[in-house]
Every structure is written in structure tokens, then in C-alpha cells.
Amino acid sequence: QQRVVASTNSWFVPELLVAMFWVRVLCRHAWLALCVLYGQEATDAIPKVTVPRFQWAQSREFIFLSVKVKDLDTNKVGATTSTPGDLRFEAANAAGEAFVLELPLREDIVSSSLHVEVATKPDKKGTSVLLKARKRYAHRWDRLVVDPKRFAAIMERDWTREDRTLGSEGEDEVPYIEEYSKVMTALSS
């Protein structure tokens, strides 16, 4: 017969949870102490970060993004690309709230072509920040980001800027064939 015996380490789980609680409390107190030491308010120490809503459109050569930020601080706006396939937008409003949008693009853009423009007049939804970037391969993109479902709640198509002459979904070209025709021929041989 096999007999099940209670583990001698049964105290481990509750004690671990209590220890984790106290570590968290101590870390929070240490954080607050650092804030006081450096003259910051504790509420300012951990800024709220919001992912803004945006619209996107395209032409054959460019992608366009329009990001709205309520009460935008025009001195705190920027966009960067760490790689040709990533786009990061950062801004802050007058209250100091941070707005960050990180987009893993489906295709590459020319990083040096990234242009940021702040609209002169805000509307009821906020101030528009327009981003424009040249596509690495000039053709119609079937989607902006790798995983559109991840951005479904905040991303919309901007049909007012969209180039209507690009064709429909079924007419997409593969731009790489022209550029890499020698490589593809060698691989298929």
C-alpha cells in the first residue's frame, strides 16, 4: 500500500506570500523615500502612461498616422524608429501624462524619412500629431502592423487621407520579387 504523507514544507506557501507582501511594502517605502530625497512628489514619481488612439492611411510611397492627444504639450512630442520595422510615438499633455504608442510595423519604412508635424488648431478630441514615413518598398500594404487584433480598440483607418487608386485587397504585389529576383531564381533551381 502507498501512503500519502503531508509535506513538511506545507508552511512554505503562506510564508512566501507574506514575505512577498513585505518586500513589496518595503520597496514602495524605499521609492517614496527616494522621491522625498530628490524633491519629487510621490504621485509624480510613477507617471501614468496612456496608449493613444490613432488613424492611419497610405499612398503607394508613404504611410500616414494621425495621433490625437488632449491638451498636448507641443514641446514634448516625438517619434523614433529603433529598427525600420518599429515605430514609437511619445508625447505628453499639459498635466504631464505620458502618451506612448509602439507599433511593430508589418513592413519596413525608411527611418530617415520620418516626419512629425503638430496641427496648429486642436479640436474637441485633442491636438493631432501627424506622422509621415516613406515605405521601403513602394506598394500597397494589406495592414499596418504585424498583429492588427492587438491594436483593434485604438486603431482606425483614415479614409480621408487614403490613396483610393491603390487597388483592392486581391491586387497586392509582392515588392520583393523585383529586388530579389536573382536570389529567388537561384533558390528555385
Beta strands 72-80 and 62-69: pairing type? unpaired
Its pTM stands at 0.65
Beta strands 54-58 and 155-157: pairing type? parallel
Q: Render pLDDT for 142-173 as a digit per residue (tens, 0 to 9).
A: 999 999 999 999 999 998 888 878 765 444 45
Q: Render pLDDT for 59-106 as a digit per residue (tens, 0 to 9).
A: 999 999 999 999 999 999 999 998 999 999 999 998 889 999 999 999
